[in-house]
Amino acid sequence: MNPFERTRLGSTEVEVTRLGLGLAPLGGLYRAVGAQQASGTLERAWELGFRYFDTAPLYGAGLSEQRAGAVLSGKPRAEFALSTKVGRILVPGPEQPRGGGRHRSEPAVDHNDEIWAEPVDLTPTWDFSAEGTRRSYAESLDRLGLDRADVLHIHDPDDHYADALAGALPALVALREEGRIGAVSVGMNQADMLADFVRTGHLDTVLLAGRYTLLDQSGLAELLPLCADRGVSVIAGGVYNSGLLADPKPGATYDYLPAPAELLDRALAIQDVCAKHGVPLRAAAVQFPLGHPAVASVVLGARSADEVTDAAEMFDHPIPGQLWRDLKDSGLLPEEVPTP
């Protein structure tokens, strides 16, 4: 499959490439990137043919959006799709200590500082109100230097479902009706609540992170069939489960925490099957989600030009059908899981 083939999201006019670029790493995820490296990463992506980019205010407390805008604001606007997110407002605050840790946090003030390596003087705070949603979007556009985003995701409303349903979702629907965005979405690391949002009838797409991968197909139980039935497109993120499926070894992370031994063993077993067919594990991990008809695009993060190049190569790497058969015969994939 051509990584840069375009497909529409739901019944909207928004077109994304089958392979999109996730911009969390450009906000300094785990390690500092810097403006120059971020720019080189985006320019390489553009050169290769990436035309879908996903960012968020949370990523580096605005750094990712700023760095995306520094490059993309100079590109022909009609040629690419961009998504960002709402649910957190950036407010002035002291620089937070940096270190290693979990991607999600639960308090009312959502510093998420443990995984962002570059100091900033802003602090993300939860806000799923309609007013906060519009403010978040306006501030994102300022950082991006763009006049619109094509897709807005409600970001991580796990502990704020009622607020997001009453505030953020109607605000996004209104923005779509006003022509200020092209598609309404919710982005989460779980499938069950995404299914609840899909049932409202207001979504065009969802961003499902880490729940439809070679290691976790929980999205298949309800969400993906529901999306296929409703004509809601799925964007698959977190296909490496934060690192384990990119390079399974002791110390690798799974969903932003050290991988449990049993999951490391499973990832190594999948890697062995891939190796017998001359296929890198990364290639199988990137291509796997597109075996389901509801999945429109896979978003993969990158922090350098080399990683962008690798992402495109992995998406385009030939995979024989027998590899998927062998994974099922080995019990490493359920028999009912659709494969490319």
Neighbours of 89 (CB within 10 A): 20
CA distance 296 to 77: 21
**Residue 25: CA atoms inside 13 Å, Cβ hemisphere, count?**
20
Neighbours of 94 (CB within 10 A): 9
Query: 205, 54 in Cβ contact below 8 A?
Result: no
Q: For residue 161, which amino acid is it? A: Y
| Largest Cα span, the chain | 54
Residue 117's alpha-carbon distances to 33, 96, 104, 306, 316, in angstroms, are 9, 10, 15, 20, 32
CA distance 98 to 119: 8
* Angle (deg, nearest 10), helices 130-144 and 169-177: 60
Dihedrals phi, psi of 91, to nearest 5 degrees: -120, 155
Active-site pick, 59, 137, 240, 254: 59
59 is catalytic: yes
CA distance 113 to 71: 25
How would DSSP label each residue in 69-103? Answer: HHHHTTS-GGG-EEEEEESEEEEE-PPPP-----S
Token pair 């070679």: residue:
214
Active-site residues, by number, are 59
